Structure 1
Amino acid sequence: MKTNFKFLAFITFLGLFLNSCSSDDDNVAFNAPIISNFEYGEGSEHSTEQVAYKGSDIHLEAEINAEAKVSSITLSIHAHDLTVGDDEVDWDFEQVFTDSNYLVINPTFHEHIDVPANIPAGEYHIELIVTDELGNSTEIEGHIDVLDPITLSDFSIDTSVVRGSDFHAEFMVNAVNGIHNITVDIHADGITPGEGEVEWDFEQAYEEGYHEQTEVEFHKHIDVPVTAPAGEYHMLFTVEDENGNTKTYETHIDVTAS
């Protein structure tokens, strides 16, 4: 009897022990994912400088430590109170990544996101959210400056010229992708040629001395025919870079008879 009693007691104890272990396993708490080494910048250079250019892309990378498998990674990018200019649109980006290489324990996030060419330049907010299959989530955020790939500055352009002479135009050009060419377009604003006058429209593309340069001063003297009708002329300067991005500057010049 004693032997049977001891055996039954042992079996009971073993059952309680295993049940306790099972309960402990059921109550194991998994920590939320940890995001570290979050970096982003200009995509073509895999830069960590927090700058990108319109019409290019943003490189993003982060290490994720997840005790439970990741179920999704959400990336959002949006502007901070930027004014939308002519021919520009708001950019509000959001994408949920559920690629198989991310739905694992401890994945590395690495993506390149295209930046539209027609959005306002300025500061954009970036947010990365990682959620595991147990519903735990972690987010990390930062900011990136989206810049114009072409900038024009320091304009010095004559506002009037006597026909039969020339006028001076100069300005600085910065183009991160290199300059393809610089075009000057001049045409009259509704001027009717008089006797002895000939309608004057000027258009020329300049490459020599500018092609493939990233920083240069445009400096030209443009002849105005002596037969050009006097009046106001519209001028458009267009810089095109090697990626097809363009930047324009508009102004007017008065052509006088003397």
Structure 2
Amino acid sequence: MKKLLFAFVLGTFFSSCSSDDNNDNTVAPEVTINQLADETEEHDGEEMALVEPGEELYLNADITGKNKIASYKFDIHFAGDDHDHRTSSTDVEWSWNKIEELEGDVYEIKIDENIVMVPDEIEGNHIKEGKYHFAVFAIDEFGNETVARQDLLIEHHDHEH
């Protein structure tokens, strides 16, 4: 009877240990961009967030993880598709990023804020209008990374397509 009880306790111990070993340390966080701008537009067959130079980008996104979320990053950069309504050779490509390092037991983040003002000019030059990429990266405590992307069309709203 003692041997049977010992085997049962030992089996229970090893099964609980093996489930701890499968703590999803290879499962990357999930990132969902719910909204990037107040308006969207169909452009070249793609749905893009539409923002005008001088306006704020509004971000509503969720990050969830089975493991602690260590950091997240926002990144915006010109897509280089040569879509441009201005003819000036002095227009400059705009880029922006922000990294947030997290501490503690964070498994879920709800982001609902105005994150950045899209400039109209940089050092006296208009920003290049056209397609930009917006990305949200999330990294968990084990280094697993996920990225969600949304295309962004930056142009003055009075342009014809």
Please indicate, yes or no, whether the TM-score normalized by the shorter chain is above 0.5.
Answer: yes
Query: Which digits, 9 at most, give the CA deviation of each residue in 1:45-72, with x for residues without a partner?
Result: xx14311121222111112232222111
- Aligned-residue offset at 1:127: 1.2
The reply on whether 1:27 has 2:35 as its aligned counterpart is no
Distance across 2 between alignment mates of 1:68 and 1:85: 48
Match of 2:5 in 1: 10
- Aligned-residue offset at 1:79: 0.8
Could you say what secondary structure the match of 1:90 adopts? coil
Mapping of 1:108-257 within 5 angstroms?
108-111=110-113, 112-118=115-121, 119-148=127-156
Gaps of 5+ in 2: 41-48, 122-126
Q: Residue type of the partner of 1:133?
A: E
Distance across 2 between alignment mates of 1:62 and 1:152: 29
The reply on whether 1:39 has 2:35 as its aligned counterpart is yes
CA contact (8 A) 1:33 1:67 kept: yes
Provide the alpha-carbon RMSD of the alignment. Answer: 2.9
Identity of aligned residues (%): 22
Q: Structure 1 residues 125, 51: closer, same or farther in 2, change over 3 A?
A: same
Query: Larger relative contact order (C-alpha < 8 A, sep ≥ 6)?
Result: 2
Distance across 1 between alignment mates of 2:145 and 2:29: 6
Q: Residue type of the partner of 2:56?
A: D
Q: Structure 1 residues 62, 86: closer, same or farther in 2, change over 3 A?
A: same
- Structure of greater Rg: 1
The reply on whether 1:90 has 2:85 as its aligned counterpart is no
Distance across 1 between alignment mates of 2:107 and 2:65: 5
TM-score, normalising length: structure 2: 0.71
Runs of 4+ deviating beyond 6 Å: none
TM-score, normalising length: structure 1: 0.47
Q: Residue type of the partner of 2:28?
A: A
